Amino acid sequence: MRSDRTYHPLLLLLAALLAALAPACTGAPEEPVTLRYGLTLAPTGIDPHLNASAELGIPLSSVYDTLVFQDPQTGDFVPGLAERWTISADGLAYTFDLRRDVTFHDGTRFDAAAVRANIEYVLNPDHHSQKAAFMLGSLEAVEVLDEYTVRLVLAEPYAPLLDSLSQVYLGMASPEALETWGPTEYQFHQVGSGPYRFVEYIPNDHLTLERNPEYAWGPSIYEADQAAIERVVFTFYEDLATRAIALQSGEIDVIGEIQPRDAERLEQSGDFVTYPVRIPGQPSQFLFNTLQAPTDDLRVRQALTRAVDRAAIVETVFGIFSPVAEGPLSAVTIGFDPGSPYPAMDLQEAAALLTAAGWIDGDGDGVREREGQPFSLHIVAPNWGSNPEVAQLLQAAWEEVGASVTVEVAAGFGALKELQAAGEYNLIGVNFFGADPDLLRTTLSSDGLYSWSGYRDAHLDETLLEASRASLDPDRRVALYAEAARITRDRALLLPIRDYVNLVVASSRLQGLRFSTQGWFPQLIDLRLAP
């Protein structure tokens, strides 16, 4: 009997085809369509109700639905979990009629009691909410009128309320999950009602979402009724240098905060697409410390402003992608005033102002002095958003006009706050993002949580407060923010650098990439991965 066999080529081909079809024929599961999304920051906590990072909203905006959504094209608020709403004539009561067909990912029903439970969770002082609690303004009470009607009652009008309610920080969570896990553990067991379910979070490693097959109540801003991508895995790339490498190697399909040169190079390859996403809110900026010499002198602050070629800094660090900032608000933010631009560079005027302030280079060593003390400046720069590179260029510019300048880079937001608390700085980099201009109160009001300029001005405080209350008069709000911008410029409270642009680079296979009004958060439900 022969042990060696010869097979006809057609039989071999048939065997290969059968082998390839075997998984489908035997019912073996196929690998789910998976998107790999890079994150640029590993937050210390990711419960959006309690933590404040913008980065957490990139995955979690698709886990939660909100009472209202904001259309990124028009800026209008559209129905979400609330089908409709009314605002009282005095602006103190917002009544929401809720959808009746929504269930959370754990099967819990969404209703008016769930809204109240969520807001109570946020406002519980023992939970120490870093952002969401402050987004509710003067909220006094949450009234459950019936099973699907809820009213929010304010002590005074608060114009940003709808904007707040449209953001992930006030996304509706399962009350049962909030109660079961509490403020410490809930971040690892999040339950919303959005198009994706929360599956797993391993800090500093990955976060996984999976498609919610029951989703049937998406807002009008979503183009798809159901997500096409079944799983999204988020991984962390805090080091700038690793992001482009991760894209090129295929580790990830998309990531933001790419360096301009890397973005241009990747797009030229034909395998990637760059999405420059303009972010509303405050521009990249440095606040002057008005309580610390020599920047306690208005003439010095004005001189330093005029000694800087901001356009050249933006071109050097950010290339063609970022506009030069012209005030305390970026140009894509409601309330931006194009009529209050910052003065252009004028070295002669800068020198004259410094001389008038008593700072003179009497010994010809290149450093100005006054009363035997050198003209010294200390810049504190955050370690993100290319702030260190900007600070180095500011250092060079101010050394040209006779300053001795040191730059200190803060390794994270906690370190930045510690350096600010010490008070030994003349400029410090800090800015916040958001579609509503009320965020200016955070840094410009005397009692603002981050009023790190130390400037106190009753008129500026009242201007910003009145703007926050003008909920029924949008034109009045715009005029008030224009006045705030004028004060900020005339008193030289800050040095605006560039309107923030998030450079997102994605594989050319990724289709349908669009972002929320806030600019950071992708609408995952609309994404597709081409073969």
Structural domain spans, the chain: 38-277+503-529, 284-499
**Is the pLDDT reported for residue 139 higher than 70?**
yes
**Is the pLDDT reported for residue 409 higher than 60?**
yes
* pLDDT tens string 75-92: 999 999 999 999 999 999
Q: Residue 508: which pLDDT band, with cuts at 50, 70 and 90? A: very high
* Residue 470: CB atoms within 10 Å: 18
**Is the pLDDT reported for residue 185 higher than 90?**
yes
As a whole number, mean pLDDT of residues 256-273 equals 93
**Is the pLDDT reported for residue 11 higher than 90?**
no
E strand map for 340-468? 369-370, 373-374, 376-382, 404-410, 427-429
Closest CA to 399 of 308, 496, 467: 308
**Is the pLDDT reported for residue 50 higher than 80?**
yes
**Is the pLDDT reported for residue 16 higher than 50?**
no
Amino acid 43: pLDDT: 87
Amino acid 20: pLDDT: 45
Amino acid 350: pLDDT: 97
Q: Which residue has the tokens 């009320």?
A: 438
Q: Residue 374: which pLDDT band, with cuts at 50, 70 and 90? A: very high
Amino acid 385: pLDDT: 84
**Is the pLDDT reported for residue 213 higher than 50?**
yes
**Is the pLDDT reported for residue 356 higher than 70?**
yes
As a whole number, mean pLDDT of residues 121-126 equals 97
Angle, alpha carbons 69-74-75 (nearest 5°): 50
Q: Residue 12: which pLDDT band, with cuts at 50, 70 and 90? A: very low
**Is the pLDDT reported for residue 25 higher than 70?**
no
Amino acid 27: pLDDT: 54
Q: Residue 29: which pLDDT band, with cuts at 50, 70 and 90? A: low
Q: What CATH number belongs to 38-277+503-529? A: 3.40.190.10
Q: Residue 42: which pLDDT band, with cuts at 50, 70 and 90? A: confident
Mean pLDDT of the chain: 92
* pLDDT tens string 314-331: 999 998 889 999 999 999
**Is the pLDDT reported for residue 22 higher than 60?**
no
Burial zone of 21 (CB within 10 Å; 0-12 exposed, 13-18 middle, 19+ buried): exposed
Q: Give the global pTM.
A: 0.86
| 157 upstream amide cis, omega within 30 of 0 | no
CA gap 234, 35 in Å, rounded: 8
Q: Residue 14: which pLDDT band, with cuts at 50, 70 and 90? A: very low
* DSSP at 6: -
What's the token pair of residue 62? 């698709």
CA gap 186, 170 in Å, rounded: 15
Closest CA to 240 of 257, 219, 217: 257
Residue 312 near residue 492, CB atoms below 8 Å: no
State the architecture of 284-499 in CATH terms: Roll (3.10)
As a whole number, mean pLDDT of residues 145-159 equals 97
**Is the pLDDT reported for residue 160 higher than 50?**
yes
